[in-house]
Structure 1
Amino acid sequence: MPIIIPSYISTLADDNLQFTLYYVTDHDDKRTVQGITFGDTDIWGEGDTSGFFEEDPSKLHTIDTFKYQTLNRVSFDISAEEVADINKKGIIAEDIKVILSDNTRIPANIKHFEIMKTKKKEKLSLISCGGSSEGVGHTKFKIRQNVKLTQMKIPEELKTYYEVQVVKSNHKVDLPMMLSKEETLCINTKVKRNIPFSYDATILLISNED
């Protein structure tokens, strides 16, 4: 049976939702993940749903625990209408299953699932972002209008993976805080332990007008 690598889906979705799942199959198991189901809403994968590294055989995982397995991925693009439908159903992580090519349905192994809505009016503009091999990343914003910034609640199961610093004028500051138009803010993240393969650490902010 394919093994779905654990993932966390916690995203802002005004219009649509996009994410990728990764999974491992035995070499002799030709089944692939074709879709994902949220209750009775089935979403089908985008593009090639198998052979993650097949385009370059030299990158195929063939060592240790991957000696007899293949790493695969499948991406999903969920429309605004489908996002709204999923939200109405109050879907939680345990409800989500993937659909295999033989129509078998197995748990998607998603540890946290949440769709958060935002106002469409953009109040922050991205200046730069980057990271290092040591697991330190940064994202710098410019404020487009006077705002109050508040950090959204991070799921408890993710807090052990990374720490966050909010920096203004090279000094650490705490949220919530008021920012004036044209001021800049930097969000720094530092990985504290191994993050699951399919999880991208994202720090979410809510901004409200004065």
Structure 2
Amino acid sequence: MARERFAQIYARAAERKGGEAALEAMLATPLSNDALAAIGDDRWLAAFSQKVFQSGISWQVVRNKWPNFETVFFGFDIEKMLLIPDDMWERKATDPGIIRHLAKVMTIPANAQMIHDVARQHGSFARFVADWPSNDIIGLWRYLKKHGARLGGNIGPYTLRVMGKDTFILSQDTESYLRQCGIIDGGRDTQKSLKATQEAFNAWQEESGRPLCQISQIIAFSCGDNRL
């Protein structure tokens, strides 16, 4: 089928979720640029690290242990992360209070370096993210994947969503819908597919006036196995 008008997608999602009021109550609201820019860079490192550790493991298990992560890694203070020698990182990776996974632990100093480098150019990593235009959110995904550690796939986008940056998410339901519409016809993460997806979301945003995160959720709610 061809790309639908957003009003059609919204009507179907509302019907599946018990009406417009019920649907609206489920939708996320992104932070303003000023609110995003006020987030400490240590919180960005913590958020990236949490999503990295949640990859391939129960999210709740990671959440339950997260206070220990904050203690072991000094609150994810960027400057402190950059001063820790390699042998200490290896010792920290064996701490029983955290999830012991050396490769994932080593993403912390790598992503601390990325955040530090960006902050030197833009004042803070938070300001860099806040100022990135949502009509090219795939460009920010690409930056995180290229310059960060293990931030490709959905890890970067999910972290941005959790932190309040307006972004769509290519969940299983959303990807399936985009394929049905012929917007994606190859690999999900190819530049061709991502560019076509961004263009479709930009069009739906212009039509609806909604943030990308809500459009993404409404699309997911309009299809797949999530009917109430």
Higher helix share goes to which structure?
A: 2
TM-score of the pair, normalised by structure 2? 0.22
TM-score of the pair, normalised by structure 1? 0.23
Higher relative contact order, structure no. (Cα contacts within 8 Å, ≥ 6 residues apart): 2
Higher strand share goes to which structure?
A: 1
